[in-house]
Amino acid sequence: MDDLSRQRQLRLERDALAMDVPNCPACLHQMEPAEANGEYIWECHECGATRFP
Ligand SMILES: [Zn+2]
C-alpha cells in the first residue's frame, strides 16, 4: 500500500469513528472523540467520563 492510500484509509477510519458517537453512560451527554496514548477514546466533556470504542 502506498502512502496516499494509507492516509486515505486512516481518514476513512477516523470519519467512521466520528459518525458513530456514543452517549455518556453516566450523564447521557454526547461524547467527544479524544486521543490518549496514541489511541482514540471517547470523552464526556460534561462529567469527564471516558470510554474506549
Ligand atoms: Zn458524562
Ligand 1 geometric centre to CA of 15 (Å):
22
- The pLDDT confidence band at residue 53, using thresholds 50, 70 and 90, is confident
pLDDT at residue 16 tops 80: no
Query: Who's near 31: CB < 8 A, 6+ residues apart?
Result: 21, 22, 23, 24, 42, 43, 44, 49, 51
Domains identified in the chain and CATH numbers: 3-51 (2.20.25)
Ligand 1 geometric centre to CA of 21 (Å):
13
Ligand 1 geometric centre to CA of 37 (Å):
21
**Confidence (pLDDT) at 27:** 97
Name which residue leads in pLDDT, 4 or 50: 50
Ligand 1 geometric centre to CA of 27 (Å):
4
**Confidence (pLDDT) at 13:** 74
pTM: 0.59
pLDDT at residue 31 tops 90: yes
50 neighbors 40 (Cβ within 8 angstroms): no
* Cell numbers placing 28: 447521557
